[in-house]
Chain A
Amino acid sequence: MSSASAIPAGLRARRSVADLQWLSVAVILLFLGATFLAPLFEVLALSLTDADGTFSLAQFRELADSSSLRPVLLQTTITALEVTLACIVIGYPAAIYLSRLEGWKASLTSVAILFPFLTSSLVRTFVFIVLLGRNGVLNNALVWLGVPGAPFKLLFNQTGVVIGMTYVLLPYMLLSLIGTMRKIDGTLLDAARSMGASRARVFWTVYLPLSLPGVAAGAIITTILGFGYFVTPALMGGPGEKMIAQMVEQRIVTLYDLPGAAAISVVMLTIVLMAYAAAARWLGLSRLMRPQG
């Protein structure tokens, strides 16, 4: 008889655990809804109204007609892709090295990679202005070394934007690459070597293919983040290389055209979501996130 009464008690206990889990999920959903989804719908609603507050597609029609959006979109896309490419080129070899570290060295590099995130991106960008300016540290060094053509114009143009954004976004690429590379089984490389493959061949046929998921994941993150970046282009870019986030800011602050800004934001969000969906489809993002093996 005692066991008969124990069963409902056990069930009740399990039930209350389940309730608790639902509660915690509900809290998270509520928080997300209030701080993220609600404003997002607000923006969406704003983009679909005209100056009088009535429903209209005027904002989007205007954007489609306007000659200003397309070059900015193109410029933004190019910048995001350039930054992603730079992150791959710089990040890949660095990640190979960093992924092989062990013990305290590995911990130290993890902290070092994450450290910039503790600093505001505004501060980090100002640091680059000091470094890259006409009389900045880098140019002075180049002049002193007698590099022909120095000092270079590294600020307030596309070069400056790409350098600054690469610096800011590189950690995302590094973390993604290191994570993937650490999971590559070293005996696979040994096996390939024992079968007669040269080091270069081992890299191209085994290491690189197995690290590609990390490259793809890192590229998606840096491209999407780069696409919407504001601070660095605003501070380090020139007047000719406006990015789309700056355009939104201009609409709000200078023109006080909230529906217009909202419409551009919706366009931006749509493009990013489409890019993400395409990446998920073509690169098999769910597969990328799964561990090797």
Chain B
Amino acid sequence: MTMTSEAATRVSNSASVHLEAISKSIGGTRILAGVDLDVNAGEFVTLLGPSGSGKTSTLMAIAGFVTPDSGRITVRGRDVTVLPPGRERDMGIVFQNYALFPHMTVAENVAYPLKVRRLPRREIETRVADVLKLVQLDALADRKPARLSGGQQQRVALARALVFEPSVLLMDEPMGALDVRLKEELQLELRRLQKEIGATVIYVTHDQNEAMLMSDRVALMRDGQIEQYGPGQELYRHPRSLFAARFLGDSNLLKGMVRDGWLDVGGLRIALPTGTLAATGERQAALLRPETLTVREGATGALMSEDGACLYGTVRDAAFVGQAMRYEIDVPGLPEPLLVHQVACAAHAQLAIGMPAQITWDRDDIHLIALGDQDE
């Protein structure tokens, strides 16, 4: 299933894309509220967000199917905001349902954009053969799409979007309809292929793992705006808002107020990360990722530790989820139980429900999120 590099051709054409304050309302509803986005040539950028956050609308605006009410879209510095989809706009699109022509064979589907460009027949044949080899579908060139599996259809769609070497490749949740195993395989394949040919890819998904796995940078969207934009690791480790912290991965958010160099969470003292400059009176939330916490059997009755990187509680729920134990620990003073993911190995004794527990962490694994006025 690996894609061969011999057939790979570098897309010399790949371009940078720049979005500037893109807004769009449909029927009185604001679906895009000032989207700014910079995508470098050859970069893989993912628009991530819950449904209704505007990620597909942003993609369709870049594709030209949605014309923004205001703002500017430039590709390689050229303004394409109102340019209709087509040859001049020069974008390869992989649609969510793949949009393969059911009355054409795989080869005819892939040849379509080349025929439109009136290339000589020889060249069309060579290029179709090359790109089908690239996605490893050369053996199925004469099949109709209906006789292909979901994964194969997806690769035909990809081949058809790549074959005319567009300046940008847009993909709208292309893995949505695939089962988990196939999805993981294709994600890595697509990632490798994209690096190989150097295409600029703008990718839409609501799957955070997919976004982090594949992208150079992730743009997290919320309510028609980009909430945070950066490498996946940065978004995961240093989310700038509660929304970002909650959307990517599991999280424990302890909300409190800074007091004398500690975070006071309902009377519990949490040590701030070293070097934090937070003034007394600031409202902050401490983000503790479940996998950075360590849990062990605690002494009954212990309530606090001196170093501020330890809490005591009772195991409320313990579940084995394969690579980890998933604990929920009730901590007196916290409104919600703490979630702990602990690697299931000999080093960690498993705890049973109802046992007293001690939770520790490294204070530098804490990330502080400043709370705004509207944050509860």
Residues of chain B contacted by A257 (CB below 8 angstroms): none
- Taking a contact as CB atoms closer than 8 A, the residue among B96, B101, B116 that contacts A196 in the complex is B116
Residue A193 interfacial (CB < 8 Å): yes
User: For residue B146, which residue of chain A has the nearest CB?
Assistant: A293
Q: How far is A196 from B85 in the complex, measured between Cα atoms in Å?
A: 7
- Taking a contact as CB atoms closer than 8 A, the residue among B84, B86, B99 that contacts A187 in the complex is B99
Among the 9-residue stretches B87-95, B258-266, B287-295, the one with 4 or more Cβ atoms under 8 Å from chain A is: B87-95
Q: How far is A70 from B89 in the complex, measured between Cα atoms in Å?
A: 61
Residue A268 interfacial (CB < 8 Å): no
Residues of chain A contacted by B93 (CB below 8 angstroms): 191, 194
Q: How far is A206 from B63 in the complex, measured between Cα atoms in Å?
A: 20
**Best-surrounded residue of B65, B96, B116, B164 (most CB of chain A within 10 A):** B116
Residue B103 interfacial (CB < 8 Å): yes
Residue B143 interfacial (CB < 8 Å): no
User: Is A196's CB under 8 angstroms from B86's CB?
Assistant: yes
User: Is A194's CB under 8 angstroms from B85's CB?
Assistant: yes
User: For residue B89, which residue of chain A has the nearest CB?
Assistant: A194
User: For residue A188, which residue of chain B has the nearest CB?
Assistant: B99
User: Is B102's CB under 8 angstroms from A194's CB?
Assistant: no
User: Is A293's CB under 8 angstroms from B102's CB?
Assistant: yes
Number of interface residues of B (CB under 8 A): 25
Residues of chain B contacted by A267 (CB below 8 angstroms): none
Residues of chain A contacted by B361 (CB below 8 angstroms): none
- Taking a contact as CB atoms closer than 8 A, the residue among B87, B99, B117 that contacts A191 in the complex is B99
A287 to chain B, nearest CB (A): 11
User: Is A193's CB under 8 angstroms from B146's CB?
Assistant: no
Residue A116 interfacial (CB < 8 Å): no
Residue A37 interfacial (CB < 8 Å): no
A193 to chain B, nearest CB (A): 5
Q: How far is A293 from B84 in the complex, measured between Cα atoms in Å?
A: 27
User: For residue A201, which residue of chain B has the nearest CB?
Assistant: B116
Q: Digit string of B18-62 for contact with A (CB within 8 Å is 1, else 0)?
A: 000000000000000000000000000000000000000000000
B230 to chain A, nearest CB (A): 29
Q: Contacts A185-B97, A190-B65 hold; do A195 and B102 have CB atoms under 8 A apart?
A: no
Q: How far is A185 from B100 in the complex, measured between Cα atoms in Å?
A: 10
User: Is B97's CB under 8 angstroms from A196's CB?
Assistant: no
B93 to chain A, nearest CB (A): 5
User: Is A194's CB under 8 angstroms from B63's CB?
Assistant: yes
Q: Digit string of B135-167 for contact with A (CB within 8 Å is 1, else 0)?
A: 000000000001000000000000010001000
5 contacts between A and B (CB under 8 A): A191-B101, A194-B64, A194-B65, A196-B113, A196-B117
The 8 closest A-B pairs by CB, nearest first: A196-B87, A195-B113, A191-B99, A187-B99, A194-B85, A196-B116, A197-B116, A209-B103
- 10 other A-B residue contacts (CB within 8 Å) besides A196-B116, A205-B112: A187-B96, A188-B101, A193-B84, A193-B86, A194-B63, A194-B92, A196-B113, A197-B112, A210-B102, A210-B103
